[in-house]
């Protein structure tokens, strides 16, 4: 069935390339038609790649903004956590504080790595 569809497409294309209207497509008309199709496809590919680049840049900007907002929020949380450090460095409360601070610092480093990677 695929061969029939392909053959029909070729016949349809030949009729599309009958520029002089005589009902037949000669070699020159077919060559001209294919050259026109090739140029049209190249233009479409250039437009698609330009749109893809623009879209990628927009996504990168959006992602950068989101990451920067997350980073600012986490840095604020880290500052507040540092201000609330327990005085007794040997207490269970200080151990929990260190764990929270370590996890928060790790998350900040991950986001900074992502930002530098963009």
DSSP state of 17: T
Question: What does the CA dihedral 82, 87, 88, 94 come to, rounded to 10 degrees?
Answer: -20
49 has a pLDDT exceeding 90:
no
Report d(CA 70, CA 65) in Å as an integer: 9
Q: What local confidence, expressed as pLDDT, does residue 51 receive?
A: 59
- Interval 70-105: pLDDT, tens: 999 999 999 999 999 999 999 999 999 999 999 999
User: Which range is least confidently modeled, 7-11, 16-20, 31-35, 88-92?
Assistant: 7-11
Residue 109 is encoded by which pair of tokens? 């480093």
Which residue has 């623009």 as its token pair?
Answer: 54
Average pLDDT of span 29-34: 74
Average pLDDT over residues 11-37: 70
Rounded (5°) CA angle 92-98-100: 105
What is the average pLDDT value for the chain, to the nearest integer?
77
Q: Buried b vs exposed e over 12-48: b needs ≥16 C-beta within 10 Å?
A: eeeeebeeeeeeebeeebbeebeeeeeeeeeeeeeee
Distance CA(20)–CA(12), nearest Å, equals 16
pTM: 0.48
């Amino acid at each position: 069935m695929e061969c029939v569809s392909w053959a029909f497409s070729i016949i349809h294309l030949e009729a599309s390339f009958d520029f002089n209207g005589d009902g037949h497509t000669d070699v020159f008309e077919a060559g001209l038609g294919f050259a026109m199709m090739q140029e049209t496809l190249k233009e479409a590919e250039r437009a698609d790649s330009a749109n893809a680049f623009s879209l990628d840049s927009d996504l990168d900007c959006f992602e950068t903004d989101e990451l920067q907002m997350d980073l600012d929020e986490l840095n604020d949380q880290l500052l507040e956590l540092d201000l609330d450090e327990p005085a007794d460095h040997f207490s269970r409360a200080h151990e929990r504080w260190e764990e929270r601070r370590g996890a928060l610092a790790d998350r900040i480093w991950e986001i900074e790595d992502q930002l530098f990677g963009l």
